[in-house]
A and B are shown apart, each in its own frame.
Chain A
């Protein structure tokens, strides 16, 4: 093969690859690496989230059945108090400001650290596993209830 014909062949190959690439772009790049989220899937994701929020809401308000179902009935509170007694509608929890230096704990803390501090101190309970379903549910409720709050990381 002459040098010319080699070049022509390369160009043809390049043209073929380039054409496929251009076609791929027009066909929809999302298909190349990620499936689109269908409305019914989105609905399921939201339902899963709201189910956690609902559980967290009940835990936060001292619902015994939910605490038992999530295995934290003996841990959350030993004073009869519930989170919502100091935080109606999860007010004054400021999830949008974590992580931050938290004065009561005297350390740089996450929201989960703070939830566990409240369980241990005002409610005289026992710290729950930060990865537990109960913690995720509490976090989901607190975050959901404060959805409209402005993100201010690090604010005291």
Chain B
């Protein structure tokens, strides 16, 4: 399957990457510079397979930024009621305190979805309560865990419209709703809201099908929102799910990712920042680069295949330490052609794999899809 994914990504890339675009080699590698470091690592490790891929991106969201600024990202807190599980609560408290303590302060916070675990009112309200600690402006996009118990009713009451746009210091920011367009798998099977939510909350479940998507109406809205924006100016898209195909057997990807790229094709500097994958991830297709963010709740392992070649893998974690492999992110937008995405991975000085022994995938792995979904009454 990974060959097929590579072929699809390459095809999209060749369609979308403008001619004559050259890598920018002026960027330096530091521990905290994810974007640039990952590319060098990718080049060094995948060797010949990498040859078709551009060595470095030519994009920089800061290029047209009027003044430098920072913003923060927290997502995938997956809060249970406090009475059941406080380990996820503790980590949100820590993330909120650290974001609030940023000096100079971040201009705003993006919450990237999956505030709740099972979409319960008390879970969503707990999240709001914990994030009150952060006094800077906050913008929320939904995750599927927030949505499918009451189909977004409570989420809408708390946070309003799930997709939105604003301009900040020369950058256009767009928040997308990638979760609410799932096909109806519950009505015909007479599922309760809890059953519907349970299937949606299972990453490797098959009952909900390929649910993530943007939808034609939202694509049209994106097009309209970007119609007056200078094609050379930076655009940052926030989404819960990655905006490209990444291991379809797990519900990571959005099914209309090609259409999203078509809308963004005219823009030279597009950055997508997404949650949902609970892992360090980096990919480029055409003029868009995608950066996967950490969860505060728990880390997911990398899929056995289909990992984007430009990803510099995160270090394997100790599952006995609830603070390992999780955290939040700072994004620095500089005025001098520089963007730094810093993973605040608690308990780790090193975020990225440095040696083969630390790599998750050195034991070869072939895994099968679930069977219980097919043998169960649903």
Contact = CB atoms under 8 A, between A and B. Distances in A.
Interface stretch (B51-59, B340-348, B363-371): B363-371
Contacts of A150: 364, 366
A39 interface: no
Contact of B320 (A81, A87, A121): A121
A1 B204 CA distance: 84
Contact of B366 (A80, A104, A121, A146): A146
Contacts of A57: 370-372
Nearest to B322: A122
B90 interface: no
Interface residues of B, number: 36
A146 B205 CA distance: 17
B319 A121 contact: yes
Interface residues of A, number: 37
Nearest to B203: A88
Interface stretch (A8-16, A68-76, A91-99): A91-99
Nearest to A82: B202
Interface of A is mostly: loop
A104 B318 contact: yes
A41 interface: no
Contact of A147 (B301, B357, B366, B375): B366
B300 interface: yes
B360 A89 contact: no
A146 B363 CA distance: 12
Given A86-B301, A150-B364, A104 B249 contact: no
B366 A89 contact: no
A146 B364 CA distance: 10
B298 A79 contact: no
17 contacts: A58-B372, A61-B202, A79-B84, A80-B84, A80-B117, A81-B298, A88-B250, A89-B369, A90-B367, A91-B304, A91-B365, A91-B367, A94-B365, A104-B319, A121-B320, A122-B320, A148-B367
Interface of A: 50, 53-54, 57-58, 61, 63, 79-81, 84-92, 94, 96-97, 104, 117-118, 121-122, 144-150, 152, 155-156
